[in-house]
A and B are shown apart, each in its own frame.
Chain A
Amino acid sequence: EDQVTQSPEALRLQEGESSSLNCSYTVSGLRGLFWYRQDPGKGPEFLFTLYSAGEEKEKERLKATLTKKESFLHITAPKPEDSATYLCAVQAGGSEKLVFGKGTKLTVNP
């Protein structure tokens, strides 16, 4: 069974304090790894797709990387508006479904 584990469950940072979120996965035949941002009571908002080990994607203060077993979402000099739950999801094998982790709730204090 495909599994996605995110750590930490919650992370509290000061504004400007860089850090990383982890997503480890156990799947058979990874086709894609997706990062989403979710604000309270809202739907997941797409951030990045990574397809192969070694791939990196960047958007503003966020950078996502992928290895054969895990992905990292690096947040550089975060701002309070980066506060949200960050979700990792994988697609594997011949399935179309996204398998999500529980997410990391990030709080950035001013």
Chain B
Amino acid sequence: EPEVTQTPSHQVTQMGQEVILRCVPISNHLYFYWYRQILGQKVEFLVSFYNNEISEKSEIFDDQFSVERPDGSNFTLKIRSTKLEDSAMYFCASSKDRGWETQYFGPGTRLLVL
């Protein structure tokens, strides 16, 4: 069964450093998403992406964040200058069609900012 994959599974970085989180969505899916979950809190939407453009973003997704589909399979989330409060689990998701189709989530990348 096709799955969303994410790398790395864990990343530790120093405050102020740039990090890139990588995702490979399910192959025939067209919509891609990033969510995050701070320890003990709700899963929160960050951004959705379709046809090489951001289609929706939350207030969390400020200028420090960017997304890219650098090739036909990968989808990345870049945080330019990490802050302590960026420490969280970051989940990539994909759906076959527009957002009201089921979104399938990857296993997550645990980011720790020191």
Within 8 A of A (CB), among B72-106: 89, 91, 98-100, 102-106
- The answer to whether A91 touches B45 (Cβ under 8 A) is no
Of the listed stretches A42-50, A60-68, A71-79, chain B binds: A42-50
- The answer to whether B56 touches A36 (Cβ under 8 A) is no
Chain A residues, Cβ within 8 Å of B91: 43-44
- The answer to whether A41 touches B110 (Cβ under 8 A) is yes
Given A95-B99, A96-B99: A101 touches B42 (CB 8 Å cut-off)? yes
- The answer to whether A34 touches B45 (Cβ under 8 A) is no
In the complex, which residue of chain B has the Cβ closest to the Cβ of A4?
Answer: B42
How far, in Å, is A105 (CB) from chain B's closest CB?
A: 11
Question: Residues of B with Cβ closer than 8 Å to A?
Answer: 4, 31, 33, 35, 41-45, 48, 55-56, 58, 89, 91, 98-100, 102-108, 110
11 extra interface residue pairs, beta carbon distance < 8 Å, beyond A34-B102, A43-B107: A41-B108, A43-B4, A44-B43, A45-B105, A95-B56, A96-B48, A96-B55, A96-B56, A97-B99, A100-B43, A100-B44
